[in-house]
Amino acid sequence: MTGLDIRPLTSDIGAEIHGVDLREQLDDAVVAAIRQALLDHLVVFFRDQAITPDQHLAFAHRFGPINVAPFGPKLDTHPAITVLDQVAPVGGLAARWHSDNTYMPNPPLGSILRAVEMPDVGGDTCFANMYKAYEELSEPLRALLDDLEAAHDLTYTLTRAIDEGLAREHLDTMQAQYPELIRPVVRVHPETGRRALFVNSNFTTRLVGVTEAESNVLLPFLLNHVRSPEFQCRFRWASDSIAFWDNRAVQHFAVPDYTERRLMHRVTVEEWD
């Protein structure tokens, strides 16, 4: 028995987990139960977890090696922790439906995001189930997408990050290190075996194997489709709340509706070999 209290947010995505203190050393049964809840609900949330950066990293490491983001601000004392610190954002890269770092050869398993300081109003994050996004398409369209590939590239996102002062890396250096990658439009999840739509606004630039005109019609349709509220949940943050999502089957969107400081710490987890 793990003592976990798992409370689903919707029928398709999201659950809050109670009955665990992430400051403690978790036994293997609790870690396995959290991982199963992640697979079942795609994103899990914890409340009132006043963890330190070291404890944040230790928790993340129970699920896989730590993936250090190639660009973006980091915590000075813990460079494996990405810092998201904004006041009154206007749009922004997080305010687009996306999966994290799909331009990398091995996109991460998931991310563990902790709210350090939150505005009194606003700053929620929405999450969308990409299994459902795929399954709600018509059978003929699913059959077409099963055989298609798409290009993933960091140029757009990194250019905006540099322009907005959120990255100091050189674009040409990063492009050489992370060239365009071609990946399936529909990804088979390595643990569940389920099919998930795997294109996103921040990194997917075009469909491969169709004409440019066809790509210009079909890709925007798919990117708009993932925004459907039928396969979403919305999380209202408070300080010391934590979200852990499966990047392989989830997209997320940070709502830019606040005018006070919103400070978050994120640790990203790689797949086990």
Cite the active site residues: 98, 100, 252, 266
What is Dmax (Cα atoms) for the chain?
56
Q: Are 182 and 151 in contact (CB under 8 A)?
A: yes
According to DSSP, the β-strands at 15-18 and 43-46 are parallel
| Whole-number Å distance between alpha carbons of 145 and 143 | 6
H or E segment and range at residue 127: strand 125-129
Amino acid at 222: L
Distances (CA, A) of 64 to 39, 41, 51, 269: 15, 19, 19, 6
Indicate the DSSP class of residue 96. S
Q: Where are the alpha helices (DSSP H) in 44-103?
A: 53-61
